[in-house]
Amino acid sequence: MSAETEALRLDDADPLPTSRGEFLVPPAPGGRYAEAAYFAGNSLGLQPAAVAGLLREELDDWARLAVEGHTRARRPWVDYHELLREPAARLVGARPHEVVAMNSLTVNLHLMMASFYRPSGRRTRIVIEDAAFPSDSYAVASQAVHHGLDPARTVVRLKPRDGEEHLRTEDVLAFLEREGDTVALVMLGGVNYLTGQLMDMPAITAAGRAAGAVVGWDLAHAAGNVPLRLHDWDVDFAAWCTYKYLNAGPGAVAGCFVHERHVRDASVPKLSGWWGTEPSVRFRMDPGIAPPASADAWQLSNPPILALAPVLASLEIFDRVGMDALRAKSERLTGYLAARLASAGGVRVITPADPAARGAQLSLRVADAGGLVRRLAEAHGVVADAREPDVVRLAPVPLYCTFHDCHRAAEALAALA
């Protein structure tokens, strides 16, 4: 049996049939395959086919009703974000009043830090990973400056051991036990954008909170990728974007989680806007705010309807398929691709080999990463992405990637790497 035939057999036999037909897959150049093998969903997910219809309905309601659409549209705009609350809560393992769809990821991280980064005395430091996404680095440094602190002394960047690619959980825990009384905030990425490492979120959260720190998570590469239990893990806050694994479109509206112990605590300081007050009094236009006991209290402005419609379309797919089933298929696809790459040779995978320690991503250390990504697309119709100078990322997203896609990627890399 050829490798291609085996890949097709695995697709036919998989217990979770692909949802590829619910997405718009770009064409592949060259003519051998009609569609691209798309492995860049950790950068921008594919468009759900249902999005155009939902957007058309909102545009039609706007044309037909104008301002009355706030209360009379098919999905009234005034409380449109409520439609996303329960599916978003199921996605991240939260209670509905702990989540809200709003803003963009870094804006939400800043709003969370305005509430929960409260440096005092010795407890001033912010802990991130050294390979954090640059926006997180910028955000925490600017928060330090905002509080009159020196980022070089305030921000702790945890590094892997010499010669290793990943942070060891035991090293993170040891740091928190040793120096936790100086830490005000732990804010790591749930899945590292560069290496694809899945952090031990329950253990790190427990250690951070035991040390007296607030623990927040950037879930940009975790939401829609791995199962999450934010409420049960006792996470203080989390934020995520929706344009990667959640397929809601470029710059889509992000999500935010605040644990219920905080949403019920009226003393928690927050930056406020008019959508952060109780809906029952919002239109009285009073100067005094009455924040609800939910994550909605962190909302600043009314929801952008045309930007929320794609998020709604995506969450409906996740609700129907389920994260546990997607995670199981992700491990099968990523494991298959890892095995094919190992047998082919010529590439160095820097993502953890343990399936429990990675998401739906394999990162390869190669020379001329950008050039390799271009050749993969142009010559083989395999779409990946590069992080300069020397990392190529492949994400076998289980909603629309197949074993045959993985076969194509492995064959192309063997030919080009």
Pairing status of strand 214-218 against strand 37-38: unpaired
175 labelled as ligand-binding?
A: no
Q: What is the pLDDT of residue 21?
A: 97
Residue 133 annotated as part of some ligand binding site: yes
Does residue 217 carry a pLDDT above 90?
yes
Confidence of residue 347 (pLDDT cuts 50, 70, 90): confident
pLDDT digits (tens, 9 = 90+) for 309-336: 999 999 999 999 999 999 999 999 999 9
Is position 233 annotated in a ligand binding site? no
* 15 appears as a binding residue in the annotation: no
Q: Are strands 183-189 and 125-129 parallel, antiparallel or unpaired?
A: parallel
The larger pLDDT score, comparing residue 32 to residue 181, is at 181
Within 13 Å, how many C-alpha atoms sit on residue 146's CB side?
12
Can you give the pLDDT at residue 340?
95
* DSSP summary character for residue 360: S
- Per-residue pLDDT, 107: 98
Question: Please, is 57 exposed, middle or buried when counting C-beta atoms within 10 Å of its C-beta (0-12, 13-18, 19+)?
Answer: middle
pTM: 0.96
pLDDT score of 3: 94
Distance (Å, rounded) from C-alpha 363 to C-alpha 391?
6
* pLDDT for position 346: 72
Delimit the domains of the chain by residue range: 3-35+322-416, 56-319
Residue 33 labeled ligand binder: no
The sign one gets for the Cα dihedral 409, 324, 135, 168 is negative
pLDDT level of residue 343 (50, 70, 90 thresholds): confident
Q: Over 90: is that where the pLDDT of 32 sits? A: no
Residue 125 confidence (pLDDT): 98
Predicted confidence at residue 344, as pLDDT, reads 72
Whether 137 contacts 194, CB under 8 Å = no
Cβ 75 vs Cβ 334: under 8 Å: no
Q: What is the rounded average pLDDT of the residues 341-365?
A: 92
pLDDT at 275 over 90: yes
Confidence of residue 1 (pLDDT cuts 50, 70, 90): confident
| Residues 284-308: tens digit of each pLDDT | 888 989 999 999 999 999 999 999 9
The hierarchical CATH code for the domain 56-319 is 3.40.640.10
pLDDT of 345 over the 90 cut: no
Please tell me the predicted confidence (pLDDT) of residue 4.
Answer: 94
Q: What pLDDT shows up at residue 119?
A: 98
Asked if residue 234 belongs to a known ligand binding site, the reply is no
pLDDT-based confidence at residue 147 (cuts at 50, 70, 90):
very high
23 has a pLDDT exceeding 90 = yes
Contacts of 248 (CB under 8 A, 6+ apart): 45, 242, 310, 311, 313, 314
Structure-block tokens of residue 16: 């979770």
Helix, strand or coil, per DSSP, at residue 69: helix
**Which pair of tokens denotes residue 127?**
């802990």
Binding site annotation covers 136?
A: yes
- How much is the pLDDT for 193? 97
Q: What's the whole-number mean pLDDT along residues 244-257?
A: 98
Non-local CB neighbours of 56 within 8 Å, separated by 6+ positions = none
Least confident of 216-220, 232-236, 281-285, 306-310: 281-285
Q: Binding residue per annotation — 242?
A: no
Count, residues in the chain? 417
- Name the amino acid, one letter, at 390: D
Residue 257 · residue 239 · CB < 8 Å: yes
Q: Identify the pLDDT of residue 259.
A: 98
CA distance 325 to 316: 15
Average pLDDT over residues 254-278: 96
CA neighbours within 13 Å on the CB side: how many for 97?
A: 10
343 is in an annotated binding site: no
Banded pLDDT at 149 (limits 50, 70, 90): very high
Residue 217 known to bind ligand: no
103 is in an annotated binding site: no
pLDDT exceeds 90 at position 82 = yes
| CATH architecture assignment, domain 3-35+322-416 | Alpha-Beta Complex (3.90)
Instruction: Give the tens place of pLDDT for each residue, 377-411.
Output: 999 999 999 998 999 999 999 999 999 999 999 99
From CA 200, how far away is CA 320, in angstroms rounded? 27
Question: How confident is the model at residue 395, as a pLDDT?
Answer: 98
Q: Which 8-state DSSP code applies to residue 344? A: H
Per the prediction, the chain carries an average pLDDT of: 96
- Is it the case that residue 353 has pLDDT exceeding 90? yes
